[in-house]
Amino acid sequence: MDGDDRDEPPADTGGYGFPRALWRTMDKHPPPGAHHLRRWRSPLRGPWLTSVLGLVLLITLPVVIITGLLSYIAYGPQFGQAIPVDVGLLKLPTFNWPTDPSWLYRLTQGLHVGLGLILIPVILAKLWSVIPRFFSWPPSRSLAQLLERLSLIMLVGGILFEIVTGVLNIQYDYIFGFSFYTAHYFGAWVFIAGFLVHLAIKLPKMWAGLRSLPFRQVLATSTAETWPEPTDPDGLVAVDPAPATMSRRGALLLVGSGAVFMAVITAGQTIGGFTRHLALLLPRGRDLGNGPNDFEVNKTFAASLIDPRATGDAWRLTLTGGPRAVVLDRAALLAMTQHTATLPIACVEGWSSTQRWTGVPLRNLAVLAGVPNPVSAYVRSLERYGFNQATLQANQVSAQDSLLALKVNGADLSPDHGYPARIIVPALPGVHSTKWVTTIDFRAG
Ligand SMILES: Nc1nc2c(c(=O)[nH]1)N[C@H]1C(S)=C(S)[C@@H](COP(=O)(O)O)O[C@H]1N2
Ligand SMILES: [Mo]
């Protein structure tokens, strides 16, 4: 837009406004490309479309935010095993993650990852709908506007960052040189702050935008009858609109189809059966074992770099924390009272898999170790690197279905699923269901 076309700055910018001279200078020297604003000519763009997409995100994004923060708590920050460990002022109140219902983490994390993916087309459409706002010049006319623009950078930058890091994480593509968890956690807070400011500023505009066109009327309007909305003060509506090539209902259908497509290539990870082949976004959903052990393998035995001899006859489980260490071989464990429970493994990446596990209840092992009421249990794997340890809460040890599993679906665990023994606890984040367990330290206090 040429500087000369612009209105004079409003006289009422008052004490908080920028000096008139500064505003004039910026107006006379727009950045290269500011005139491209005229190119955004879609007649669909306007307060109504932006408000509808905004409403969808207003309802759904809090679910993604809350389930994400719950995941941090489920990791057990009280044991220093949630990442990042030190979050300063952003420390959340922690509580003992429940073991009942057993599908709790499966639900919260499935929602976090699944909904996060499904919303990508909606978020892109919302960004498209407000493109002209990103080019408005001068960038701000008052302190209030400057804050709004800053919150917008946090909002848009934050959500794009969360999407990119989240999607790369479920692809196991740790291409960035920083910890995914740390980046995703702090990125989330940047986004949350931007989201709250944006809500406070835009909520009234959203209601007005929604009321500006009756939804039923929009659904009944064809492409030929689709006209731009009246010019709005925010400049969403094109100055020089092109004829419509799509109706508003068509645009909503397009965005909705994008969301459904994302759902189809995601949901197979949890639903299973033939839909598993459609789970294109989840590589772990397709790497499977055989027979009773035919379900998602996260890290394979080969990838664990454990010496196979260490899981053979020489394998021993050591229980510590009591008066003296107790050492058991697999035969001794199999001779103890066995308990069977149908429980999910629910990975932070969103996939989950429910199987029938059999093994020794952890609380019986605690008694055997001489610590009948431990405040926590520290489990270690034979594996030297990676997710080779976890601390379990008191309630996660005492729950009746919490197991040191030896079998799955009636068969011995396969090497890939943690033979000779692995942890299975109801509602535990998958990352803590340690495979190839070698020691458990029951801690009395
Ligand atoms: N020793 C060890 N245990 C582990 C892991 C690992 O990398 N090493 N991965 C964890 C993760 S992230 C998940 S989701 C589950 C997956 O279990 P599965 O491979 O049997 O499906 O195992 C957990 N236990
Ligand atoms: Mo996982």
3-state secondary structure 231-283: CCCCCCCCCCCCCCCCCHHHHHHHHHHHHHHHHHHHHHHHHCHHHHHHCCCCH
Whole-number Å distance, alpha carbon 444 to ligand 1 midpoint, is: 27
Q: What is the pLDDT of residues 240-294, one digit of tens each?
A: 899 999 999 999 999 999 999 999 888 877 776 677 777 776 655 455 667 889 8
Answer yes or no: is the C-beta of 284 below 6 A from any ligand 1 atom. Answer: no
Whole-number Å distance, alpha carbon 299 to ligand 1 midpoint, is: 6
Whole-number Å distance, alpha carbon 157 to ligand 2 midpoint, is: 27
CB 392 within 8 A of CB 432: yes
User: With 60 as the cut, is the pLDDT of residue 13 above it?
Assistant: no
Q: What is the pLDDT of residue 172?
A: 65
What share of residues in the chain are helix, strand, coil (percent, to 5)? 50, 15, 35
Q: Which residue has the higher pLDDT, 87 or 14?
A: 87
Share of the chain above pLDDT 70, in %: 89
Q: Which two tokens stand for residue 405?
A: 């599993």
Query: What is the greatest pairwise CA distance in the chain?
Result: 88
Residue nearest atom 24 of ligand 1, based on CA coordinates = 434
Q: Name the residues around ion ligand 2, CB cutoff 5 A.
A: 347, 430-431
pTM over 0.75: yes
Domains of the chain: 20-269 (no CATH), 288-443 (3.90.420.10)
User: With 50 as the cut, is the pLDDT of residue 5 above it?
Assistant: no
